[in-house]
Amino acid sequence: MTAAGRVIVFGSLNADITFEVHRLPQAGETVVAGGVRRASGGKGGNQAYAAARTSTRPVLMAGAVGDDEAGVSLRDDLSTAGVDIGLVRVVEGVSGMAMIAVDEEGHNVIVVAPGANHVWPEVPALPLEADDVVVLQLEVPLDVAAQVARQAVARGARVVLNAAPVTPGADGLLADVDVLVVNEVEATDLLGLSTIDVEAVAAAARERALAVVVTLGSDGALVADAEGRMTRVPSFPADAVDTVGAGDAFVGAFAAALAGGADLVAAARRGAAAGSLTVTVRGARHPRLHPLLVDDLLDSQPDPPGRTMS
């Protein structure tokens, strides 16, 4: 256990428009949607929401929104969830937006227009402290994320990088990262892994001297510490209706658990529980997400078996 700190999420805020379709369209094809939903999103916003709604840790959001109606909603929704939005800038122009198509099995395709998320004439000095956990994603410019990571390192804060979407040059961030969280595709692209298994993930963690968490959807996650010690964290049973936001819920709950003093495996289990709960509802944010809801799901499934040394 380590000292408890805050979660500071630096990242994207988007207005999501989700189309419910019976199947995802192919290139050049038009598919008629059976329903349309509008909600607040963005990987950064979703992760801050999950961090605040799955823990009692202070959660701060740093990012940018436009001076439009969407920007007001994006800030208000996070504030209502208990996130401190004092570090969210309002800039002239439009807020970020995401168009999402979700099929009947919960699979999705997403198109993002960055808007205000890419308006950074300068990077603000964040009020970081040594016990903080700083969460980064790559829906903001890479150089901006890199500067925030360097600020965190200078203050002694831990950096969790969710390398999504993988951006050319993202491997240059890893020297300032304590924990890398990626899915299978991102692990392949960023770490150059030809296979995603215990040995490959352990070797990648040892080589780069950082903890690596590879999320595997319904197959749980592989967790390697910086020395390559491995644990397979199982998923939790869930009736999935929408996988949008599951990864963000994992990252947010994971970071909040780390900030509260949990170790990597315990934090990953909490992240997996939050992700499993999120897929049971429509949209990227579970409206009833709560620490007790996560606790109950964790209590329903025994701890994973001992570590597999590699």
Give the residue numbers annotated as catalytic, written as ranges: 248
C-beta atoms surrounding 59 within 10 Å: 29
Instruction: Copy the structure tokens of residue 242.
Output: 């929408």
Amino acid at 278: T
CA angle, 162 then 140 then 254, to 5°: 25
Report the distance separating Cα 43 and Cα 34, nearest Å.
25
Edge-first strand order for the sheet with 7-10 is: 84-91, 59-66, 7-10, 133-136, 158-162, 179-183, 211-215, 221-224, 230-233
- For 12, the 3-state DSSP assignment is coil
CA angle, 65 then 249 then 109, to 5°: 75
Maximum separation of any 2 CA atoms in the chain, in Å: 53
What residue spans of 172-263 are helical by DSSP H? 184-191, 198-208, 246-259
Handedness of CA 119, 123, 127, 132 (dihedral sign): positive
User: How would you classify residue 245: left for phi > 0, otherwise alpha for psi between -120 and 50, otherwise beta?
Assistant: left
Residue owning tokens 């690596």: 212
Identify which of 259, 256, 238, 242 has the alpha carbon closest to the alpha carbon of residue 301: 238
